[in-house]
Amino acid sequence: MATNSYRKDYKRKWISACRTLTKYNNNAKRLPIDQCVQSPPTKFQRVERQDKIDFNVDDCDEPLSPTTGINCSSDECDSSLASCEECSEQGDSDCESKPADLKDLLAGWVNQYQVKHNAVDDLLKILQQSGHSELPATSRSLLRTARVIDIGQKSGMEYVYFPLEQALLENFLAYPKTLRESVDCLHISLNIDGIPLFKSSTGTLWPILCGIMNFTPVKVFPVALTYGASKPHDLDFLSDTVRDLNTLLEHGLKYGDKILKVSLRCVVCDAPAKAFVKGVKLYSGYFGCDKCCQRGVWIGRVTFPDIHDLILRTDASFRDQSNEEHHHCVSPFCDLDIDMVKAFPIDYMHQLCLGVTKKIILAWIRGKKDVRISAQLVERISAKLVALRSYIPQCFARKPRGLGEVDRWKATEFRQFLLYTGKLVLKGSLPRHLYDHFLVLSVASSILVSPELAQVHLNYAADLLKYFVEKAKLLYGEEFIVYNVHSLIHLVEDVKTHGCLDSFSGFPFENYLQKLKRFVRSGKNPLAQIVKRLSESSGKIGQTTSTSISMKPPNNGYILGDSSCCIVVDETHQFQYEEKMFSCRIYNRSEPMFVQPCDSRLVGVYKVKEQNSCIKLLPASTLKRQAIAVELEHNTLIFLTILHQL
């Protein structure tokens, strides 16, 4: 009986609500009672309605809107109806569930996974047939694809330019507001490089990329895109970028009510691209070094044997072209108020990782008889590398591969070998004099890649690199001292000017180049395809947060502030602590893994024993420096501090 009474009361209020709405809409026809009064809900349906709208029918003193399910007083009824009619016109079936969010989610999903448009079209048809009639019918409408692409011609290439000031402001606004409000100057870097788009043709993309270096992650975006059968015929494709950059450096960037200063940190290029945009001789020329005036020596190739007492190039000597044999033409970058020598640093991604590190590995496995190691040693080193795969944390993009695949290694793999794994796998396998020589390069690189170590041990790293180049001449021959090896003695000066190696590396730009390459899906109008994909992709950059602390190997190794090593075992759930606490196995009494050229603990390499450990509770704030923890025989562990910027 109570249920019947409730149903009658509920039905009466809905009838009252319909009559009230009809009163305010004189042009509307009176609907039959069975259309304007819904069936009374069951008990479970009432609970669901209360969860969604937080509403109780029994407590309602005013008429209800059958369209919205909210209180509808005479003063607010017209506005409520108007808003609901507006939602209905936009295809929204419910005021609280916004299909626009579904559109955004779908668009983000398509951009993230680069789903082909014909697949998206079919998906949209399925969704429309399933009741989502508010969704657009085509992917072009969903992604708001640019319909008209204005492609010009410059330097014998197809050319598209994105105004630098507008592009810089849009990408700056993608960062969280708290980060934007904390800066008064934007430090930007440029990157110019060519990348082939197809294996079966010579079509090459030459983009001009810009990166905002103030924040992490670095935001990279294109300023200009050029595409043609080869590289540009001249440097005219740089003119628009240099003109707008000159204006920004002089007047700054307007952001709201304030003017942000803009500073050009550097122009990051590999050696061929750097010589091209500076208008100077290639690295294989006799005066190919862009840092010093040394004349190269031909020993089957151009080498640079001198190490000491070098005459360094300066901005004044470059602009005056005092060394005529070094120059081809006047670079458009000379119109900017920058140092034409220091503003073009050595890119350690190409010249150290892909250059020197690869060259020295190839010398061990394919070089002269004096330094070439046996096939058995190559297999042993490769087996050690593969065995380390289970110890490499997830923050590394790639796991180690054997030396048999060294021709297919990426720059990140050479960096991993140089800074971390090489110290382990070469010990006991590579001849001692070659191993000690490699450690000199590894230690110097470890110092320069770490912001903390570079500030303290910069001069020591300079001495190590000079020793490495001088010793390499004796071990590998004078023909080994090519441009990349010679550039090591100038690397420290770039670190003094720009900061640690990751502050001016090509890694973020190279990653973006691969992203641009994936935008191309056919050989028809590749530049237009890239521009359209760029018009579709947009979004905010999330606030960077510290990496979550893992208790699962191999991601649970850390180095503490007192240089002791630890492995996170478990997370404690005791509420008496203000900060999250972790149970950690602490390893004390660390020993150096090697003592030449220095104590290995200087560059974050520790050797510890299992018996010298204990369990302690540590707050999360102390677990900041992640490390690679490798278990060796005899209950011994090696901790390798991760030094490069993740």
Residue 635 is classified by DSSP as T
Backbone φ, ψ for residue 196 (5° rounding): -70, 140
Structure tokens of 499? 């900061």
- If asked whether residues 162 and 267 sit together in one domain, one would say yes
Residue 134 lies in a domain: yes
**Alpha carbons within 13 A on the beta-carbon side of 402:** 12
Confidence (pTM): 0.81
pLDDT of 76 reads 38
pLDDT of 19 reads 63
d(CA 333, CA 322): 18
- If asked whether residues 141 and 213 sit together in one domain, one would say yes
Residue 535 lies in a domain: no
- If asked whether residues 396 and 476 sit together in one domain, one would say yes
Residue type, 447: I
* Residues counted in the chain: 646
Question: Helix/strand/coil (H, E, C) string of 498-557?
Answer: HCCHHHHCCHHHHHHHHHHHHCCCCCCCHHHHHHHHHHHCCCCCCCCCCCCCCCCCCCCE
- If asked whether residues 213 and 229 sit together in one domain, one would say yes
- If asked whether residues 412 and 434 sit together in one domain, one would say yes
- If asked whether residues 438 and 364 sit together in one domain, one would say yes
Please count the structural domains in the chain.
4
Residue 597 lies in a domain: yes
Backbone φ, ψ for residue 584 (5° rounding): -130, 145
pLDDT of 172 reads 92
- If asked whether residues 136 and 273 sit together in one domain, one would say yes
- If asked whether residues 237 and 200 sit together in one domain, one would say yes
**Alpha carbons within 13 A on the beta-carbon side of 359:** 19
Residue pair 16/46 in contact (Cβ under 8 Å)? The answer is: no
pLDDT of 113 reads 86
- If asked whether residues 361 and 299 sit together in one domain, one would say no
Backbone φ, ψ for residue 496 (5° rounding): -60, -35
Q: Which of 264, 294, 328 finishes a domain? A: 328
Residue pair 601/592 in contact (Cβ under 8 Å)? The answer is: yes
In the chain the first and final C-alpha atoms are separated, in Å, by 69
pLDDT in tens, 512-551: 999 999 999 888 899 999 999 998 876 555 444 446 888 8
Structure tokens of 304? 């640079």
- If asked whether residues 168 and 275 sit together in one domain, one would say yes
- If asked whether residues 370 and 460 sit together in one domain, one would say yes
pLDDT of 23 reads 52
Residue type, 464: L
Structure tokens of 354? 């892909």
pLDDT of 276 reads 95
Pairing of strands 636-641, 302-303: unpaired
**How far is CA 180 from its chain centroid?**
19
Tell me the C-alpha to C-alpha distance, in Å, between residue 554 and each of 337, 367, 388, 551, 611: 48, 35, 10, 9, 20
Structure tokens of 476? 């590998």
Residue 258 lies in a domain: yes
- If asked whether residues 317 and 301 sit together in one domain, one would say yes
585-616: b or e for each residue (b if 16 or more CB lie within 10 Å)?
Answer: bbbeebeebbeebbebbbbbbbbbeeeebeee
Q: Which of 498, 516, 538 finishes a domain? A: 498
Low-confidence ranges of the chain (pLDDT < 70): 1-100, 538-547, 573-577
pLDDT of 60 reads 39
* DSSP H or E stretch at residue 224: strand 219-228
Q: Which of 279, 300, 318 finishes a domain? A: 279
pLDDT of 133 reads 87
Q: What angle do CA 640, 568, 554 make, to 5 degrees?
A: 50
pLDDT in tens, 553-596: 999 999 998 889 999 998 886 666 677 889 999 998 899 999 99
Residue 159 lies in a domain: yes
> What is the extent of the structural domain holding 608?
557-641
